Amino acid sequence: MNKREKSLIIQKILNSTYPKVPIPLNYKNIFTLLISVLLSAQCTDVNVNNVTKNIYPRYNHPKHFVKLGRKKIERLIKKIGIFRVKAKSIYYLSKTLIEKYNGKVPNTYEELEQLPGVGHKTASVVMSQGFGYPAFPVDTHIHRLAQRWGLTNGKSVTQTEKDLKDIFSKKNWNKLHLQIIWYGREYCKARDCYGLTCKICKSCYPNRKKKFITKKA
């Protein structure tokens, strides 16, 4: 079975499982989406949502976080991993948005990736979910699943993103990215499926007997 054949099976299962797919992170506007994605690094979306539900009703614009300052931002997000590093990024990111972009989040990869604390994956999520631009954000979880399903050789998240974009139609990227995230959480878990038990793994590799160990990005 080649990659194209696998992709058709995967899309069919994902569309059947998630005809409508929710966005995992809660936010009020594109700026708070950017902040939530930044906070989600090395942290679960559930934890981010639990923390930001008490922040965004009051603080949802770059000027709010600049006024707060780093120490107060730290206190607001202290339940999130590496909160001091993230608080620093949020403060300087907010400052940059006010000074360079009149408080608005830019809508290009180049400008987003120049903001403090914003890498390609974060920029991709904002471009996709915030601006509706076709993007295929790849984190370690999607990287793992793409390997299990035989869609990439697994050398890096950069290579995985390129491979997935080559395999799937551009019009489906935004939805597929979210579908794969939810499917991985519910059915193809890192320490549960191991490439052997979920519907996609069994469909793509009916003869697989041994656990499939993925390569880290």
At 158 the pLDDT is 93
Sign of CA dihedral 11, 15, 17, 22: positive
Which residue in 6, 86, 121, 175 is the catalytic one?
Answer: 121
CA 129/CA 147 separation, integer angstroms: 24
Please report the domains of the chain, with CATH numbers, ordered by start residue. Answer: 3-21+136-204 (1.10.1670.10), 30-130 (1.10.340.30)
For residue 207, what are the contacts with CB-CB under 8 A and spacing of at least 6? none
Is 121 one of the annotated active-site residues of the chain? yes
Amino acid at 169: S
**Buried/exposed code over 178-211 (b: 16+ C-beta within 10 A; e: otherwise):** bbbbebbeebbeeeebbbbebbbbeebbeeeeee
pLDDT confidence tier of residue 21, bands split at 50, 70 and 90: very high
At 59 the pLDDT is 98
pLDDT confidence tier of residue 89, bands split at 50, 70 and 90: very high
Burial of 45 (0-12, 13-18, 19+ CB in 10 A): middle
Q: Which residue has the tokens 């880290």?
A: 216
Is 100 one of the annotated active-site residues of the chain? no
Contact at 8 Å (CB) between 157 and 143?
A: yes
At 154 the pLDDT is 75
Contact at 8 Å (CB) between 64 and 58?
A: yes
Is it the case that residue 217 has pLDDT exceeding 90? Answer: no
At 112 the pLDDT is 98
At 198 the pLDDT is 97
pLDDT confidence tier of residue 216, bands split at 50, 70 and 90: confident
At 90 the pLDDT is 98
Tokens linked to 57: 């009703």
At 214 the pLDDT is 83
> pLDDT (tens digit, 9 = 90+) per residue, 115-133?
999 999 999 999 999 999 9
> pLDDT (tens digit, 9 = 90+) per residue, 35-87?
999 999 889 999 999 999 999 999 999 999 999 999 999 999 999 989 999 99
Beta strands in 2-159 (DSSP E): none
At 213 the pLDDT is 85
Q: Looking at 32-36, 137-141, 179-183, which range is the least confident one?
A: 137-141
pLDDT confidence tier of residue 215, bands split at 50, 70 and 90: confident
Q: How far is CA 36 from CA 14, 129, 138, 172, in A?
A: 25, 12, 16, 24
pLDDT confidence tier of residue 155, bands split at 50, 70 and 90: confident
The mean pLDDT of the chain is 95
Which residue in 3, 6, 139, 163 is the catalytic one?
Answer: 139
CA 66/CA 75 separation, integer angstroms: 14
